[in-house]
Amino acid sequence: CLIPERANRPHRKRRRAIGSVGMPTVHSILWFSAGTGALSWVCFKLYDLEATSLRSTPSVPIEDLPKAIKQDGTPCEVAIEGIIACDTPIETQYRAGNQASCVYYTLTEIAHYAKLGLFGWSEEEKPQTSSHSVPFRLVPPGGESKGVSVPALIADEGDSQGISGLLTVLNDVTVRKKFTFEDFVEQMRGSRLMQRSSQYLESGLEVGTPLTVVGPVVKRKNDIKMVSQPHIVSKKSCYELVRDAEERAQVWEYVFYGCAGIAIGCVAYMGYQYVMDYYSRRIQRQRINAFRERKHRRDQERKYAVHKPKGVDKTTDSKGGDEHQKLCVVCQERTANAVLMDCRHLYTCTECTSKLKPRNCPICRRPIRKVIRVFN
């Protein structure tokens, strides 16, 4: 029946809503996979472009650079592998033992402060970082003085050159300050914070480190120089750089295909749900129409039963169509439209009934007391 289904439908929706609390919907999964897929596609293209650029960049040994460089002074993009050499390197300050020679040097001082209390330490730290860099050369592994002159490395706020990944921590020295009576008095007053110690972290890119740089190189006055900051500075070889870029591109490509598969699955599931809902609504609509037809038929039958005169007989045609009244049994021409009282038979028309002699019913032969005319 249709009414119980309508009555139970809100309960099914309520149970479904309660059971799906905290679960991601198909639309949210679709949008998340689409956004992640778009981002992974961009990353895949960037790393693939980087790998393609590295593969297309010629890797020329330092000995063969004079032959590979254009003689007209036009910069040539090359990848060079060599060892760092420098005429005026930077010497470290806090390294124990022998000092190290660097071409890029960073010194970070972290001052620790004491707060109220004799042995209290504050979490507040004041770091001060200073960096120094000098131009250097890339020479062959043999250590010849001839090589490629590289400008001083400059690390901006975003560290675009990746120098922080090349630096080696040379030393970590903590210098504690002597605690005097005056410092104790000032600390108990709470007028200011007391500096108790300073920690020095120094790191740098040492001379003699194998390095790979990729950038524009030009020949000027019998000297090979890199005209600008190198695009890539790494301790890895050219082959390792290309392999890492290809691996990262492949990983992002797999992520893209995975997100695309999830998105396609979500779209297919949504399409399946739409088709199933369409057929479900269609079947429900057919049931509703059939129920309405049956209800209309019952209402018509009930309405006719209320207004139907007693004793009126009806017949149905051979095709099961609409019912029709019988013909008059006397003349067999006109429709029987006269109800004879008190027998309530409907088998004659009004014309033939008025001419009956004697006035008895032609079916049961009972006397006719009254005649009621029936209108179609």
Residue 117 maps to a domain:
yes
Residues 97 and 165 in one domain: yes
Residues 272 and 352 in one domain: no
Residues 123 and 186 in one domain: yes
pTM above 0.85, yes or no: no
Residues 38 and 106 in one domain: no
Residue 229 maps to a domain:
no
- How far is the C-alpha of 37 from the C-alpha of 331, rounded, in Å? 90
Residue 115 maps to a domain:
yes
Task: Residue 149: name the closest of 216, 202, 97 by CA.
Answer: 216
Residues 285 and 341 in one domain: no
Cβ(234)–Cβ(215) under 8 Å?
no
Which residues in 165-175 are b (16+ Cβ under 10 Å) and which e? Answer: ebbeebbeeee
Domain count along the chain: 3
Residues 322 and 269 in one domain: no
* Region of residue 132 (left: phi > 0; alpha: psi -120 to 50; beta: else): beta
Cβ(245)–Cβ(232) under 8 Å?
no
Residue 47 maps to a domain:
yes
Q: What is the pLDDT of residue 69?
A: 78
Cβ(129)–Cβ(235) under 8 Å?
no
Residues 93 and 190 in one domain: yes
Helical ranges in 153-237 per DSSP H = 181-189
Residue 224 maps to a domain:
no
Question: How many CA atoms are closer than 13 Å to the CA of 114, on its beta-carbon side?
Answer: 21
CATH number at residue 342: 3.30.40.10
Domain containing 243 equals: 25-75+235-307
Residue 364 maps to a domain:
yes
Helical ranges in the chain per DSSP H = 2-19, 26-56, 65-68, 181-189, 238-307, 350-354
Tokens at residue 78, please? Answer: 């090359």
Residues 47 and 151 in one domain: no
Residue 262 maps to a domain:
yes
Domain boundary among 287, 307, 327: 307
Per-residue pLDDT of the chain (376 residues; tens, 9 = 90+): 444 444 444 444 444 444 444 557 888 888 999 999 999 999 999 999 988 888 888 888 888 787 777 777 778 888 888 888 888 888 888 876 667 888 988 888 888 776 655 555 566 666 888 888 898 888 887 766 677 888 877 766 545 456 777 888 888 888 777 767 776 676 666 555 666 778 888 888 888 888 888 888 888 777 788 878 888 888 888 888 899 999 999 999 999 999 999 999 999 999 999 999 999 999 988 988 888 888 888 887 777 666 555 544 554 444 444 445 578 888 888 888 899 988 888 888 999 988 888 888 888 888 888 899 887 6
List of residues 6+ apart from 31 with CB closer than 8 A: none
Residues 35 and 63 in one domain: yes
Residue 368 maps to a domain:
yes
Beta partners for residue 348, in sequence order = 338
DSSP per residue over 345-376, as a string? EEEE-HHHHHT-SS-B-TTT--B--EEEE---
Q: What is the pLDDT of residue 23?
A: 56
Residues 115 and 190 in one domain: yes
* C-alpha pair distances (Å), 290 with each of 263, 278, 279, 320, 357: 40, 18, 16, 19, 53
Residue type, 212: T
- How far is the C-alpha of 31 from the C-alpha of 263, rounded, in Å? 8
Cβ(76)–Cβ(215) under 8 Å?
no
- How far is the C-alpha of 336 from the C-alpha of 315, rounded, in Å? 12
Q: What is the pLDDT of residue 223?
A: 78
Q: What is the pLDDT of residue 63?
A: 80
- How far is the C-alpha of 221 from the C-alpha of 243, rounded, in Å? 36
Beta partners for residue 270, in sequence order = none
Q: Directed axis angle between helix 238-307 and helix 26-56, to 10°?
A: 160
Residues 131 and 180 in one domain: yes
Burial category of 242 from C-beta neighbours within 10 Å (exposed 0-12, middle 13-18, buried 19 and up):
buried
Tokens at residue 293, please? Answer: 């037809």
Q: What is the CA radius of gyration of the chain?
A: 51
Residues 300 and 328 in one domain: no
Per DSSP bridges, beta strands 223-226 and 148-150 are parallel
